[in-house]
Structure 1
Amino acid sequence: MNLLGFESCYSHSSVSTEEDFLIRKILMTHDPDGCQLDSRLLLRAIKNIIHCANPISKADSDPENEATSICDAEAIGLQDSLEYTIIKISHEVLSRCFEEGDIHTKTMFLFDMLGKFKWDAKLILVLAGFFTHYGVFQLIVQLQSHDPLAALVALLRQVPCSLSGFRAQFKAFTLLVKTIVEVTEVIIEFESLPLQQELLEFKTISVVKSKIYMASYWILRSSLACFSMIKGLRTTKQDQVKSNFTTTGVWTMFSLVYRLSALCSDLKAQMETCHQQIGTRLYEKLLNLFKQTDIDNQENLQMLIPFVDNFPLKDCLSNEKHSISELKNKVVIFLVSKPELLPIEKIFLLVQQTYDHPHQEKIGGSYVIIWVPISSSHAWSRTDYISFHFLSNSLPFWSLKQPWFLNSAVVNFIKQEWNFKEEAMMVVLDTNGMITNSNAIDMIWIWGAKAFPFSILREKELWELESWTLKLIINGIDPLLTKLIDEGKNLCIYGSDNMDWVRTFSAKIKEMKNTGLQLEVIYAGWRNPSEKLRKFLDIIEQEKLSTCLTFTKIFFFWHRLESMKSSVTRQENASGFDGILKEILGLLEDNNNADGWMLIGTGSLPGLVKLQGKKATECIDLFPVWAEKVGTLGLVGAIKSALEPPLSISPCNHYDILAYDEGLKKGTVFCSVCNRPMEKFVLYKCEASEQ
């Protein structure tokens, strides 16, 4: 239900006749113009002022307050700046305190003045105005005893030298302020969920809104009492501190506390009912939404994303705010994780495979990655806030602006229906808002932006185009290696956690290269690299044994193989990719052996030679046997001819369909069944229907 629609057909069934008359008068002043105000952030600023300025009690420390800045508070649609609006309201309210007249009339004047604002904005602007005034007052009080400038300003403003005689007033004031903030927080909570309110029963909304109208009246009236108290401190003489007038003011504030406390209890009880209704109905609606096809993704996204204001998303790099409507006609990828996201190496790889990927220029703007951090506990901790704010200002993706406001029903939906188990995952929604891949993170590790539109069908299509080549294994991990592969160079990738084996292997390779054999040799370490690997890299570099991948790129190399294993295994017809899966598993398993391993290939040609331990060194020892065949069969073919003679004499009629690559023109492809050179044909495929 539209909120303005409710207010125009307001029902008085839940309030008394007197309250009904007052509410109708208040609603006559209410004419919002659509401007948006970050009420939560301003309330946080108010809490910080209370925490620093209150001479009697301190507000509890809030981890969100500590980890965020109020500098981001913004108002959209205001004719004047937010600062000017707050100061203007403060002066208007303060001037009313110096005028004659009853407090009810002054309160209704505030409603008239604030008519164009939403309910939460009315309250937060008056409170911001008061606490700006009160903060300056307390600053002067605290500094005047030892700062000459503050003492002179205190004299001009008639600020008392000491507040020790006003303990009763400040006790009542502190309690009233605490209650005002508590009630305002509940109202902001309700007003910040306009879409979810559509899931509530009309009777529930009627009761809650009626109480919000009454609470708004008493908050503004209480704010006037607070303004008047500060004004009174400046005009009350020391001998008047315990006068009947002052005592009456104290009891007035206590009576306001009593009334607001009752309203607060009622509102909280009603809000609990609201959360229960929203939670149940939202979960059911989400289940149904993802079972039907819509014309766009807007409704699905609005149900998932916490709609605190019109701009619930932000660009992490530019810090620009974005609306859900900007995601229309785009593929949306939800990167769901814990607030700390991923280990730093995986974050680098994710950025490299998306934002920095060469293919990104061709499809940039066609999809958006939105980071959705979910805390491991029900409430966000200080560590969660700090992790989120650091990463959300560093990543090249979008993120939820305030992920801690995710509805519990949405969190449960992500955990149960999307199977989120605290491991980072990437759920893909197409332009219609339908899920096309429940977890695309592996295919993004492997192919990056080339995997667009990141659907399960696209993942299968990519595997059908792949064969076991160096290009598949490396794929942009290291620009130099990629260049060598594109140029059709011979490469040997090897690894071991046995330095003696590394030295022996490197010495034999150097002897072989001294004969004129063109071969680039790269050390790739081992799976799950540790600090021991850093020492190995230092030794290999110092002794000039071979070229090495960096520690981070070695992590990428093995993580990529793990992702390939997961991705292939997940395919519906995995048997069609048994050859690639066998090679991936073999390479991962060889890593667990005590001896080293080597992988030799030429450019983008399929058919790599993989050997481990003694077999690798024996292959090099046989170099005089197969060296003479390198010119005709190529490096891989020559080695295979020596180690793996043809299995049969008659043709086996096996065929492989390979994606076109420049290196295939001059290379020789060997049959994976009989190990003999294969005859080359050309196949054309129309891709007009592909995106």
Structure 2
Amino acid sequence: MSLTGFERRYIHLPVSTEEDFLIRKILMTHDPDGRQLDAQQLLHAVKNIIHRASPVSEADCHPENVAVWDADAIGLHDSLGYTIFKISHEVLSRCFEGGDIHTKTMSLFDMLGKFRWDAKVVLVVAAFFTNYGVLQLQVQLQSRNPLAALVALLRQVPSDLSGFRAQFKAFTLLVKTVMELTEVIIEFESLPLQQELLEYKVISAAKSKIYLGSYWIFRSSLACFSLIADLRTRKQDQVNSNSITIAAWTMRNLVCKLSALCCDLREQVKMCHQQIDSRLYEKLPNLFNQIHVDNQEKLKMLIASGDNFPLMDCLSKEKHSISELKNKVVILLISKPELLPIEKIFLLVHQTYDHPHQEKIGGSYVVLWVPLSSSHGWSHADKISFQFLSGSLPFWSLKQPGLLNSAVVNFIIQEWNFKEEATMVVLDTNGMITNSNAMDMIWIWGAKAFPFSISREKELWEVEKWTLQLMIDGIDPLLTKWIEEGKNFCIFGSGNADWIRNFSSKIKEVSNTELQLEVIYVGWRSPTEKLQSILRIIEQENLCTYLTFTKIRFFWLRLESMKSLTSRQENNDDDDMSKEILGLLEVDDSDDGWVLIGTGSLPGLIKLQGQKVTEFFDLFPVWAENLGTMGIVGAIKSALEPTLSTGPCDHAEILAFNEGLLKGPVFCAVCKRLKEKYVLYKCDATG
């Protein structure tokens, strides 16, 4: 038998009481085979039946009571519906047979031996309430629905149930108590990390109550089934017999028994919660500072779920276990339930799952969304946000984020400094934190930043140059193609429609000569309704190529991320790139316009603004002559920035060579003239 250590030990303990003997008999039937059932969802469906079984006004209907239910059953040899039907059929058949109720109860344990304890009780409860729901439909509808009346007649359901009033009153109390005890059993079984964090005596006390609670839930369900059987077999002249009173008293006695068990078990579960919370909060900080062979222990502690399949693929809704994250880089996307503004969500999806480089690294990493409520509990608005977004994202997510352990939530808030802004904490394949927030680097480089560590961020930044490729890489396929082809093109922005018309007209005149220059409009940092109007003008008048409203937002989000990353780099006070980025971000829609001109992935861009744009067009005959030798950036720079000295200059720089990064011209920082290129070989041998 696949019993836990406690269950095996219990079977071999000396028998001291009648209850101990009963528990031993129950454990002898228990042989779980790993099949899984979402007991919480099935119980929710049962609650819906109870709610609908009694006539209520429309005003009493809460949206959650009519929510679509989708139970998760994994490993069942039969469908969930058929399993419930088999239990229902078996119990009803036994209600019409002789024999004592204890024997019938134990036969249910034999039938459900392969299931976990929470699954056992909820399946029996579901089997009863399926029959009870059918009965109530017939009773409520037979007076006004001919089909219901005919079915009730064939099933011999009496039209007048007033004689069963005492039984139904006791029945109502029993149903309420059965549901309460079932909920507590399910709550205990869903407690995370029981073996790792709970003391043996705490587990044993709770488990003993669960075994007994399961027995009395089964026995009470049989009593409830018997009531339905009585309705079909008892004749009208037998309705007021003593057996009705006896049945009612039997149910009330069961209520007392279940209530006492429920109270005791609830105290045990409360104690378990407290012990798990305190020990988990103590364990987490040290755990993430330790080196492990894989990420499994850390993820199990962090997700802290009693569910064997606590994760789900948001799009397919397929359930996943933590073990499926083994040997993967895991990016924990921690946020509020509403995640991010929609344009940021689009960019995040684009950079992590639609990025061209993503195909090269396959399933080497998983983005796991961990939404945390901003309040002490999940509000209805939080649940709606999560349900909507979790159906649209290509990420993985916690299946039930509202059940995330409070100790874990506190750990994330305090140790990982989570406040309001979404963050992406990266765990390597050993579960070590390699980046406390990879959001900016992912928005800039996307999947190219794999494995998304701080060291990878530094590596990327060291070889990065101020190029058009850095600014727009991956945002638009056409622009990416132009970069790969090494084309000359300029990007520009302005909120002045007349300035855009004038610039577009003049740039077309320049491009109609031997110069091939592609032109793209990218708006400004804070897109508004005014930008939508500008885009319509550009399209209607065919002024130039432009990015869509969403892609314009992508462009500026990437620049903001570049600003954030460059500001964190060491010795960055005089970094030209950060100055250029900051300059662009400070431009708004009130300015006439700005222009950036460059060639493909070659380093070096020239920025034109204000009077410089006019000079750019006026000096076209001058700089056009040098295009062949200096390239477009060098030619324009030499025309707009005359040399500071006409005499000789011996300023020299030693630049580290990186393949493909020094193809263009290099200008002297002192005299602004074109430098000659020399090759220097240096030996750094130390031994």
- Whether these two folds match at TM > 0.5 is yes
Task: Indicate if the aligned counterparts of 1:67 and 1:382 stay in contact, CA closer than 8 A.
Answer: no
Separation in 1 of the partners of 2:8 and 2:616?
A: 87
Of 601-610 and 643-652, more deviation after overlay is shown by 643-652
Describe the SS at the equivalent of 2:4: helix
- Structure 1 residues 684 and 431: CA distance shift in structure 2, 3 A: farther
Q: Shift of the alpha carbon at 1:659?
A: 4.5
Cross-structure match for 1:222: 220
Separation in 1 of the partners of 2:12 and 2:409?
A: 36
| 1:51 correspondence with 2:48 | no
Separation in 2 of the partners of 1:240 and 1:683?
A: 111
Describe the SS at the equivalent of 1:590: coil
- Structure 1 residues 93 and 165: CA distance shift in structure 2, 3 A: same
Of 202-211 and 503-512, more deviation after overlay is shown by 503-512
- Structure 1 residues 447 and 431: CA distance shift in structure 2, 3 A: same
Task: Indicate if the aligned counterparts of 1:296 and 1:433 stay in contact, CA closer than 8 A.
Answer: yes
Give the alignment of 1:2-401 within 5 angstroms: 4-10=4-10, 17-55=17-55, 69-70=69-70, 72-76=71-75, 78-163=76-161, 165-193=163-191, 195-401=193-399
Separation in 2 of the partners of 1:551 and 1:58?
A: 44
What letter is aligned with 1:362? K
What letter is aligned with 1:91? H
| 1:594 correspondence with 2:591 | yes
Q: Shift of the alpha carbon at 1:550?
A: 0.6
Cross-structure match for 2:672: 675
| 1:630 correspondence with 2:627 | yes
Describe the SS at the equivalent of 1:380: coil
What letter is aligned with 2:383? Y
Describe the SS at the equivalent of 1:555: helix
Task: Indicate if the aligned counterparts of 1:68 and 1:389 stay in contact, CA closer than 8 A.
Answer: no
- Structure 1 residues 167 and 279: CA distance shift in structure 2, 3 A: same
| 1:467 correspondence with 2:465 | yes
Separation in 2 of the partners of 1:271 and 1:17?
A: 24
Q: Deviations over 1:39-63 (max 9, x none)?
A: 1121122112112223489998676
Q: Shift of the alpha carbon at 1:684?
A: 11
Cross-structure match for 1:407: 405
What letter is aligned with 1:32? P
Q: Shift of the alpha carbon at 1:592?
A: 6.8
What letter is aligned with 2:25? K
Task: Indicate if the aligned counterparts of 2:11 and 2:27 stay in contact, CA closer than 8 A.
Answer: no
Task: Indicate if the aligned counterparts of 2:496 and 2:589 stay in contact, CA closer than 8 A.
Answer: no
Name the TM-score, length of structure 1 as normaliser.
0.91
Q: Shift of the alpha carbon at 1:645?
A: 2.6
Q: Shift of the alpha carbon at 1:341?
A: 2.1
Describe the SS at the equivalent of 2:99: coil
What letter is aligned with 1:34? G
Separation in 2 of the partners of 1:401 and 1:328?
A: 18
Separation in 2 of the partners of 1:251 and 1:682?
A: 102
Cross-structure match for 1:508: 506
| 1:557 correspondence with 2:555 | yes
Q: Shift of the alpha carbon at 1:639?
A: 1.7
Cross-structure match for 1:580: 577
Q: Deviations over 1:51-99 (max 9, x none)?
A: 22234899986766655532x42131x3333322221111111122222
- Structure 1 residues 89 and 287: CA distance shift in structure 2, 3 A: same
Separation in 1 of the partners of 2:490 and 2:267?
A: 69
Give the alignment of 1:406-485 within 5 angstroms: 406-485=404-483
Separation in 1 of the partners of 2:670 and 2:24?
A: 86
Cross-structure match for 1:651: 650
- Structure 1 residues 152 and 452: CA distance shift in structure 2, 3 A: same
Q: Deviations over 1:629-666 (max 9, x none)?
A: 333322211221122234455232224446434x965x
Describe the SS at the equivalent of 1:252: helix
Task: Indicate if the aligned counterparts of 2:164 and 2:244 stay in contact, CA closer than 8 A.
Answer: no
Q: Shift of the alpha carbon at 1:18?
A: 3.8
Separation in 2 of the partners of 1:11 and 1:264?
A: 24
- Structure 1 residues 115 and 487: CA distance shift in structure 2, 3 A: closer
Give unmatched runs, 5+ long, in structure 2.
683-687
Q: Deviations over 1:425-476 (max 9, x none)?
A: 1111111111101111111111111111110000000000101011100111
Q: Shift of the alpha carbon at 1:134?
A: 1.6
Describe the SS at the equivalent of 2:305: coil
Give the alignment of 1:477-496 within 5 angstroms: 477-496=475-494
Describe the SS at the equivalent of 1:314: strand
- Structure 1 residues 684 and 234: CA distance shift in structure 2, 3 A: farther
Separation in 2 of the partners of 1:225 and 1:327?
A: 46
Give unmatched runs, 5+ long, in structure 1.
686-691
Separation in 2 of the partners of 1:557 and 1:500?
A: 23
Separation in 1 of the partners of 2:90 and 2:671?
A: 92
Of 128-137 and 289-298, more deviation after overlay is shown by 128-137
Q: Deviations over 1:537-587 (max 9, x none)?
A: 00122222222111011000000001111122233x252882221211111
What letter is aligned with 1:612? Q
Separation in 2 of the partners of 1:7 and 1:577?
A: 69
- What RMSD, in angstroms, separates the aligned Cα atoms of the two structures? 2.8
- Structure 1 residues 269 and 364: CA distance shift in structure 2, 3 A: same
Separation in 1 of the partners of 2:359 and 2:262?
A: 54
- Structure 1 residues 252 and 672: CA distance shift in structure 2, 3 A: farther
Q: Deviations over 1:248-294 (max 9, x none)?
A: 32233233223322322222222222111111111121111111101
Of 550-559 and 507-516, more deviation after overlay is shown by 507-516
- Structure 1 residues 627 and 352: CA distance shift in structure 2, 3 A: same
- Structure 1 residues 363 and 181: CA distance shift in structure 2, 3 A: same
Separation in 1 of the partners of 2:89 and 2:447?
A: 55
Task: Indicate if the aligned counterparts of 1:335 and 1:427 stay in contact, CA closer than 8 A.
Answer: yes
For residue 540 of structure 2, the aligned residue among 521, 525, 542 is 542
Cross-structure match for 1:688: none
Cross-structure match for 1:689: none
Describe the SS at the equivalent of 1:526: coil
